Amino acid sequence: MRGLLLVLAALTLTLAAACGGDSPPPTPTATLPPTPTPSPTPLPTPTSTPTPAGPPAFEVNADTLGRSIIALLTDAEADCIRERLGEAGFQRLLDEPVGVGIGEDPALPFECLEKETAAALAVELISAQAGGMRPESEDCIRSLLLSTEGGATAFFATQSNNDAESTALALNFILCLTDEEAEALAEPGGLEAFRPSALRCATDHVSVEELARLFEPADGAPPAISAEMIQVLSDCGFGDGPEGPPGDSPTEALTLEQLQAMAEADPSIQPLVDCLEERSTPEALAEFFAGLTLEPPEGVIGCLFEYGHLLDEALSSSGG
């Protein structure tokens, strides 16, 4: 029994030494620094791409002064106009109405304007001259000018440039119009005297380029006019004035000399006489008017289509 107590005492001392005695300090464990958590990269704020500004919203009437137009243009456009016109011309432009007739040289040099700006201004000028146009006509003209090399500058030169390309542009312009709009824009000797409805009828069978060559033969060569084309033009009333078919052509019983005498009394038909004199000879015209030849002389068919309505109107007003 005594031995068992000694054993227990020894165990007690051993445990006490193990729990509370002088023991070496524990080896410190290295503490790793915390791993930094990467901050999320902020997403860039999307920047909106600015929508390109459209052409200025022009409003033109008979009283609109040039300064109202210049105020809507860019500095570069205005500076170009000033340079082209000179200071005195630029000041006149500011103080004068900007209206321009079809085929006239505009006071404002359209070549200084951005193409879209020039087209927008041209449409406004034309619409004002016509007393207003339907939106479809304005959109058609705008698209035509934007798709044409030279744009509005080329358009306003159509009547001073005697070539098939300019004539084709003028005919395409007419195709944008109603008969009423064309009549409102018509000027003596101008292609606008043609009824667009008749022109649309003709272009169902022949191209605008073919029609343009009737008016402006290349290099003075006579236009190739087939019997089929003549029939199409006749059936469509192409070349008739806005009042409709005039009936038998009044030129059948006239000589060039008689036309010249008529032009002295009524200058409105002078463009027809000038065209005939430029494109043919008195002898060839006399044979044609007398019915001695069925083949029209060089360029005559174009003169008759382009200016024949002037003679119709002159004879109608005189009771002839």
Q: Where are the domains of the chain?
A: 57-157
CA-wise closest residue to 133 among 75, 83, 183, 79: 183
Q: Tell me the average pLDDT of the chain.
A: 73
Tell me the average pLDDT across 289-313: 67
Q: pTM of the prediction? A: 0.60
The predicted structure's pLDDT at residue 172: 93
Summarised one tens digit per residue, pLDDT across range 225-277 is: 666 777 777 788 754 444 433 333 444 446 677 778 888 888 888 888 888 88
DSSP state of 163: S
CA-wise closest residue to 167 among 125, 226, 200, 209: 209
Q: How far is CA 149 from CA 2, 113, 318, in A?
A: 129, 14, 44
> Residue 216 corresponds to which tokens in the numbers above?
């402006």
